[in-house]
Structures are given as structure tokens and as C-alpha cells.
Structure 1
């Protein structure tokens, strides 16, 4: 029996498009072998509108931040290998994932887009598909399968009971036409007449004095665009079954910050990361990696949770502590500014939905961190300003004397403070000996735009007597009359016996640390210049010693600033090198 000519002719591209089906399949098993499953399939199709791979059980729920393996299946009737290869070379397959709400929004919430694309990718030419032929006789079909790794990212919009569906699309590129032979020399090709000279009529003009002008007609000719290629594909390739997948977040996290109670120059923050396994799912999570990095600084972990084999059930809470420190400039400010430091969180985990389904999730979250400290906009800030320069009846201070702190007027909290804008760096030995003189090195830099006349003094720590005493009625030894109750003002303390007893019972505290340098004075410190001075101390007792502060005084404006972030002083006993005989 001879075959008809229609049966021997290969199918054209239009017939190939009309008889093919494209579908995205998400298997429920993480270790499925599509080729083995398709080879063992008996070919029975119970539902004509069902999946192209009815023997593959698919996922019901997807996870946010999941690295999902999606199989794009292209089914077409049997073709010759050469024809199928040429058609696949012209096929462009695009895979897209959309998120949308399955429940209506609330009345008070703003309306959002009905759907949002969360993934879009094109299957590249170098992605070799798996080609499988299945069936017998007229039912023989060719299955072309691509494996695409899709990341289920979190949508930007707010969706109620979100769901995800995959939409693969395929288009045909036009067939390549043979290229014409391109001439090697396109400027002056051989054997081709030159273009018409539009200025040839002016060659014999006597005003040109023998100059032969030339303007080629090719420079002004209008170039007619070529007609576009006609589309060969009459209709798009038909899509198969489109399933809807519910989507849930496997992990919920929260980041909290707190200021470290340390010196003012330390801008470090304590970061607390709280991880919670979602309570509305009945699966366990195995966390393999939790990493925190700071763009523009360092991160120091304070908790050890490196157990990657532990299983965490729904509702479990995990807490990680970190100390984050920004990179600082020479003036003590963050190197990248207050809004350029980003905290990046990376989490890798595996969710055990079932024995066969073990999806992997990868979370990358970024947030800016503000390290500004309102207490110190600069290293030295003038907390108080003397009122002597503003009072009309105030006496001008002696230029050779330093203003006394006790005579300064207290300013209101809402008064604007002026900055001395001078940087001090104080360094000293880590350990000193009792009875030996040691030195602090003070390095000062004038960062203001004007000349400063400064003085530096050391304020010793004062031990105050906080003991309360019982008040006794004041009885004068010179007058025995009592004050009448109708007086509006209380009687003054005029009993000298009480004053004498208080002075006699006062305790005398011994000094533990003595500053041997009375003060440091700078005549004129120009803008941008620096100065180095020494402060000498003498330790009289052992232990941790300290001073109250180092006060910087501007002699021109009487502005003062106290430096309390000072080196620690640890005094030890002097070693006795004498040997007993």
C-alpha cells in the first residue's frame, strides 16, 4: 500500500503551532525523575482538559522566598529529528509567575493592582531540554521538557490570601533568510558607476578659479526602509492546564536595635534578630545559615546558634544577638553617612513539608540603619554659655584668670548651644604605679573657621557627703524669744552651735589622684592647626582612679565644654626590688 503524498510531507510551522501544547508543571516530589516517570506511564488520559503529564502529582502550597523547580513541558505530535530541531531553534519560551489575591480587600484599605508579576525569565538557547517520545501509532507525541529554577519573591503589594500561578508563553521567530554577499570595499566598489555629481554644472564657472566642486547624489537621496518580515505564526501556541498555588511565608523575622551603654564616641548598636516559624503551617524547618552583614561597618555575633541539624516546629522562636559598629571618619562620624549604612540579612533553610517534598528557601533582606547620636553632633559641644558677656553690668573677666564653673549661669534646655568645634584626643598608660608621676598626652585640633584662644584644666573628682541630718529647731544663743506663728517668713539659722557641730563632724577625704598641671593655655590656635600638650598626674592609692572631666574653655567667648570620655587609670603597688639579707 502506497502512502499518500500528504502523509509523506512534513508538517509546516502553522500546523506545528496549532497542534502543540505548552504547560508549567510543579511536581510535589523534590527528587522526581520526569524522564523515568514518563517512560513508565501507560498513556491513559482520564480528562481531556487535564495536565499534559497527568501522572505527576503537583504541589498544593508554595512558600515565599523558595527556590522552586518548575518544569516547562512542550507537547507536539511526532516529528523528524531535523525538523524538530529546526523548530525548537526558532522557539522562544518565556516563563512568568503572577501573584494575586483570592479574597476581596477590606473597605478601609487602598485598592491595589489585581495581580503582580514576581518572576519573569526566558529559556536560553544553551539550556538543553529533555526530549522524550511516548506513545504508539497515531498517538505518538514528542515531549520537550525544560527545568527552570524560579524564585518565589515577596510581592510588593498587599494581597489577601495570596496565590501564585505560572504562565509560560512561546513565540516563533521568523525563518532566517540567506544573507547576500557583502562587498569587502563598500566605499568605492570596483565596476560600479559613481553617483551623479549635482555640482557638475559649476565646473566651468570662472569665479571658482579652476576648482571642481562635487556633491554626490547619494548624500541627499532618501533611504527607503525595507519592509518588515511577515509573521509566520498565525495564532499563539495553546497553553495547557493552569493551576493555582497557595503561597505562605515559612519564616517571620523582626529586627530591633538598642544603644550600647558605653562612651559617647562609640556609635555601636545592639541588634536583636527574632525568628519565628509560622504557626499556621504544620511543617518543620531546618535552618542552615543565618548571616548578618553591614555595608559600611562590622558585625560581631554575640550568640552561638550554629546547630544546623535541629528541627524547629511551628511557633518556635529563635533570637540572635549582634553588635554592629559603623566605620568612622577622623571626626567620629559614620564614613558612609547616616543614611547609607545598610544591614543585610541572609537566611538559608530547608522546609520539611513531607518525606518527598523538601523545598529550600533563601531570604535576603536589606534595611538602612541610622547611627546618629543626638547627644554628640560633634566630639566637643559647649553645654553651657557664660552670661557675663551678655549682661550689661557684668565685669569683664581678667584675661589672665580662668572663669570659675560655679559662677556660670544655668541656661534653659531649649537654649541653642554654640560649638567650640575642637577635637581632643587623650591617651595615657594602661597601668601606673603608686607614687610615680605619669603623663597624659593631649592632642588638640581646631576644626572651626576662626582663631581660638583656649585653656584646658582638669576637674578633680569630688566626694560628696550625701548623709542626711535631722533638722532641729533653730534656737539662738543670743536671743531667747521665739518666732511668732503669724510671721510669713521662716527664721534664719542663727544658732552657731549647730554650725560648729556640723563643721567639726565633717569627714576629711584623702586625695587618691593629684593633677600636677594646673592648666594648659593656648595663645592662638589658627583654623586647621593642632597642638600637643602633657598633663602630669600622681597616683596616691591603688585601684581604678579617675578624674571628673577635662574642661576646655574658650577665653574669647567664655564657652566651656567638659570631656568625660577619658582613659582609665589602674594604679598598682610599687614593686619592692630590695632583697632581705
Structure 2
């Protein structure tokens, strides 16, 4: 009787919002019938502040790269079906997943990122039909609205120590009706509202104004906030229930290794070895269902794999997959990476046995770039193609070479230019024994992505003493005086070379560069980068370095910058 009274009793939107609770639930069983479990619950709860579904056991540990089924449960006091549908149509439900560290990071950890990171976010659509269950009697009669959301536990970009994940569902209640557009257009001059007071009305009868009627509205000098003719109803948030924290662990660890094939010069294939390891600290058995390796801009040939989908792998087991990857070639024989370059895509699908009734699926998708040819290899390949082009014209010796062959050297020289701008600035004066920095500003002015390394070449003092030529007394060559030679006799006596090296002067360093090198992984066209070079002056005076060398890691092209600022070092004042 009380339940029927609760159904027929009208409830306002504010009461509906205040009496409702929203919570995210992760069941421990993969094949759970949540409707059956809720119907068989007797309604007993030991702790009133616990979950709104205390009868349901939940997961303790989640896996990275897991496709997880999360149930978003909305509980409200019992309502009639028509009223409930009208309220649910005005309900906006959003689900977010955050990753964070359960322990504070070390104090000197340079990779320590933000305190938490968003790894998933979605909004439940109105087309997703929820499961509606009425449970309880009299005062404990509630309506449960349950949505099932598949959330992918992605690997966070930041570095978290002992990471964990929590789910944050949020719901807001929209207003019942929206104001009309024309009602807000003239809100500063609403209809049927008296105009503001004329502050200059007392001067209308002044004869000096000669019939002029001055007017100054009171709204001009006083700040009046206009009010809309339609009351704006704010969006009401729904109260959240219990929020659990789940630890996350990786189930699989992988590594890719490459080795070059000893074949002809035109064969740029690489041997790719994929090592898969079942994580020991997860302590779960894994069944690998699929392993796929694809190369963008090339082909992949499987040489050895272990595609046994029925095998169960224990923690600590290692599996090796061997592939031969070959890039697509350009007309000149070099790799043709296209606009995005060559990269490998690894896809792994597996099933993890956490318990008898909990067997989640994981799906790994990982990408990595691949470099097939260095500058030396590319030059040799181009030279081989030029020779082959000349060999085709050998039958007609009077024929001219092709235009591409004639300009190949000029094209190679233009392609080998690094084409970057380097700006170096430093302090006008430094002190001996104190560390100072140079600011390096780099701009990529080329039309392709660059991988650069920047080195500092120290300045070496030249030994101006000339070596005096001595006749060779080595027993290997002997002393030849009978025959007159056009060239000077080479010094091949090891005693003379050893004495020269032992008597050489050892110069002390005046300036030390404390930064070994600067490496830029990916510098896009038109992008810029700022770095610091640290130095230490050991003596006073005007100091300098030989050059700053820029190396293109993809082609091994180098460029030396010698126009650098001078360093004026002074002694430290006592």
C-alpha cells in the first residue's frame, strides 16, 4: 500500500535530484547477471555509507589495455514509469576515468607529471536503453537505473608510481523548458516596464534652454543588472555514491629488436624480433589469442611465431616472434617512407585468467618508427643505380646521360642540407669556477621532420713546432742510399714516433662543457626548440670553443657553427 502511494505521489525535480545517488560499479565476475543479483537481494546492508549495491563483490586489480565493463547505477526513490522516463530524458550522465599515483614520487624525479591524468571520458547517449529495476517495499522502495559502459583502460602518458584508477560518474539535471530566443533579445528594454527616472526633468521649464527638453536616464549613471523575463533554472548536479580505487598492472611486457640482413646492397630488409613476456608481478595466467605486426610503407613476412591460441602461459614465460620487414623502395632505390615515415604497428589480443569467473580481455596496440638506411647506405644505393643507368647506355656511347643522372649530385647535395637556424646567446661576463649557461634556440626551416644532436667541440691549442724529418732506421725497410727518390723518405721508425708522442706538451683546459650533447627526437617543420649548454670556466681571460656541431641523426649530416659569442671570464672577488 505504501509502495503504491509512493508511486502516485508527485515529486518535484528538486526533490528528485536531492534524493538520487549515482555510482560506478565494477563487478568481480565477468559474466554477471546484475538484474538477477539485484532481484535476489534481501535489502540488508551492514554499512549505510557503503555502496548502493553492497551485495555485489567488486574487482581489486585492473589490467592495462583492458576492455572493462563498468556499470553506472542511478538510484532514486520509487517513481511511476511515465514520470521516470520524463526525468531520465532530462538527465545528462558522463563517465570519466583517472589514473594517479598511490605513493608520492621521488623528490628529484624529472619525469614526475601531474597528480592525475584523464584516460577515458564519454557521455551516455539517450539511445542507450538502461536496465530499470524496482526493488524494496515501503520506505526502502527504490528504482535502480543501470547503464553498462565499456571502458578501455589506456596506458597513461605520465609516469605514475604504483598507479591506480578510479571512475567518476557525474550526472546533471537539465531544466524542464528552455527560454525562447525572442525573450532574451530585448532584455534591456522589457515590455510593460516603466522607463527609468529622468534626472534632468526639473530643467524642462528653464527659459534659458529655449524650449529644449533635456533628458538623462538614471540607468546611465547607476549600474543596473537587467533581469531576464524568464527565470533561468540552473543545472542541478546529482550526488555521488562510494568511489573505489583500483590498482592497475600490465599483463604483458614486450620489446622489439632489429638486425640487418647480410644480403645485397639493394636489399634493405631488417630482421625484427618481438619478445613477449608475461608479467611476473601480475601472477596471472595469460592465453595469447592473436599477435599481428604491420609495417606502414612496407611488407612484413613472418618467419617464426607461436600462434597457439590454446596454450596457457605462466607468469615469467617469454615468447619470441621473428619477422622480416622490407620497405617500399623509391625509383632511386632508397626507402620511400612517404609523408608519415616508416613505422611498425603491433597488435596483441590476449585473455587473462584472474579467477575462475573473471577472465578479462586485453588488446595492445603499439607503434614505433623504423629507420632502414643510413646516409652511407643511401649514397651507395644511389651510386649503384647511377652506374646501372650508365650501363644501359653503354650500347650507344655517343648518347647523353639522362637529366636525372646529370643532376643527381646536385640533388644529393641539396637534400643533405640540414637547413636549420641556430641562435646562441650567453652572459657578457662570467666568473672563474662558477657554472654558466648558453641559451640555444633552434628552428627547423626544412620541409621534413628532423632528429638532431648538438655537440660542443672544444678548442685545442695547435703545436707550432714542426716535425724534423729523420731518415728511417727501421729494420723493416732498411736504409736505401743507392737510389735517388723523388719523394722524401717516410718516417716509419717506431722509436721516433714514440719519442715524439712522449715529448709532446700537455695543455690544461681553460673551459669545460658540462653538457655532453642535446638530442631532439622529433622536430617538425617550422617548429622550434630551446635548450641550455652548461659551461665551467677554469681560468680568466677571453675564452671560446671551437664550434657547435649539429648532426642530423637520420642522415648523419653535420654542420659546424663557428660564429659564437666570446666568453669573458674574471677572477672571483674575495
Interval containing the TM-score (normalised by the shorter chain): 0.5 to 0.7
1:377 CA drift (Å): 2.2
- Residue of structure 2 in register with 1:89 after alignment: 89
For residue 154 of structure 1, what is the aligned residue in structure 2? Answer: 155
Name 1:490's counterpart in structure 2. 478
The verdict on how the C-alpha distance between 1:380 and 1:45 changes in structure 2, with shifts beyond 3 A counting, is closer
Q: Distance in 2 between matches of 1:353 and 1:179?
A: 56
8 Å contact kept, 1:422–1:444:
no
Equivalents in 1 of 2:263, 2:250: separation in Å? 38
Contact 2:22 2:74 in 1 (8 A): yes
- CA distance in structure 2 between the partners assigned to 1:226 and 1:427 by the alignment: 87
Structure 1 residues 448 and 232, CA, compared in 2 at 3 Å: closer, same or farther? same
How far apart, CA to CA, are the structure 2 residues paired with 1:307 and 1:52? 43
Contact 2:334 2:381 survives alignment (8 Å): no
Q: Does structure 2 retain, via aligned residues, the 8 Å contact 1:13–1:233?
A: no
What CA distance in whole angstroms lies between the structure 2 residues aligned with 1:367 and 1:487?
58
Q: Describe the shift of the 1:66–1:227 C-alpha distance in structure 2 as closer, same or farther (beyond 3 A).
A: farther
Aligned to 1:65: 65
TM-score (norm. length: structure 2): 0.59
What corresponds to 1:312 in structure 2? Answer: 313
Deviation sequence 1:58-79 (CA, Å, 0-9, x none): 0000000000000000000001
- Aligned pair 1:358/2:346, yes or no? no
2:386 is aligned with 1:422:
yes
Q: SS at 2:365's partner residue?
A: strand
Q: What does the per-residue CA deviation read over 1:136-156, in whole Å, with 9 as the maximum and x for residues that have no partner?
A: 112110000000000000000
Whichever structure has more helix as a proportion of its residues is 2
Q: Is the 8 A contact 1:65 1:154 kept in 2?
A: yes
- 2:106 equivalent in structure 1: 106
Q: CA deviation at 1:375?
A: 3.0
TM-fit CA distance, 1:304: 3.2
Name the CA distance, whole Å, in 2 between partners of 1:487 and 1:65: 72
Per-residue deviation at 1:421?
Answer: 7.7
Partners of 2:362 and 2:387 lie apart in 1 by 49
Offset of residue 342 of structure 1: 1.5
The superposition leaves residues 116-159 of structure 1 with CA deviations (integer Å, 9 ceiling, x where unpaired) of 01110110111100000000112110000000000000000000
Q: Distance in 2 between matches of 1:2 and 1:316?
A: 61
For the residues of structure 2 that align with 1:227 and 1:346, how far apart are their CA atoms?
Answer: 59
Distance 2:474 2:366 in 1: 75
Contact in 1 for aligned 2:2/2:137 (Cα 8 Å): no
Q: Which runs of 5+ in 1 are unaligned?
A: 182-223, 382-418, 429-442, 453-484, 495-581
Distance 1:427 1:306, change over 3 A: farther
1:422 partner SS: helix
Mapped pair 1:170 → 2:158: no
Give the Cα–Cα distance (whole angstroms) in 2 for the partners of residues 285 and 84 of structure 1.
44
Aligned mates of 2:125, 2:228 — CA distance in 1: 29
- TM-score, length basis structure 1: 0.58
Match of 2:501 in 1: none
Contact 2:101 / 2:116 at 8 angstroms: preserved in 1? Answer: yes
Candidates 404, 425, 429, aligned match of 1:447 = 404
Structure 2 residue aligned with 1:47: 47
* Contact 1:267 1:371 (C-alpha < 8 Å) held by counterparts: yes
Q: Which structure would you say has the larger Rg?
A: 1
Task: Specify whether residues 488 and 10 from structure 1 end up closer, same or farther in structure 2 by C-alpha distance, changes over 3 A only.
Answer: closer
Pair 1:9–1:38, CA change in 2 (3 A): closer
Partner of 2:273: 272
Residue 247 (1) aligns with residue 248 (2): yes
Worse overlay, 252-261 or 147-156:
252-261
Q: Deviations over 1:222-276 (max 9, x none)?
A: xx99778723445x21111100000000000001111111111111111110000
The separation in 2 between residues aligned to 1:486 and 1:153, in whole angstroms, is: 71
Deviation at 1:82, TM superposition (A): 0.7
**Between 332-341 and 124-133, the greater mean CA deviation after superposition:** 332-341
1:324 & 1:380 partners in 2: Cα distance? 19
> Which of residues 231, 234, 247 is equivalent to 2:233?
231
Offset at 1:343? 0.6
Q: How does 1:517-556 map to 2 (within 5 A)?
A: none
Contact 2:173–2:238 (8 Å) recurs in 1: no
Q: Are 2:297 and 2:342, in contact at CA under 8 Å, matched by a contact in 1?
A: yes
Number of residue pairs matched?
A: 369
Contact 2:289 2:349 in 1 (8 A): yes
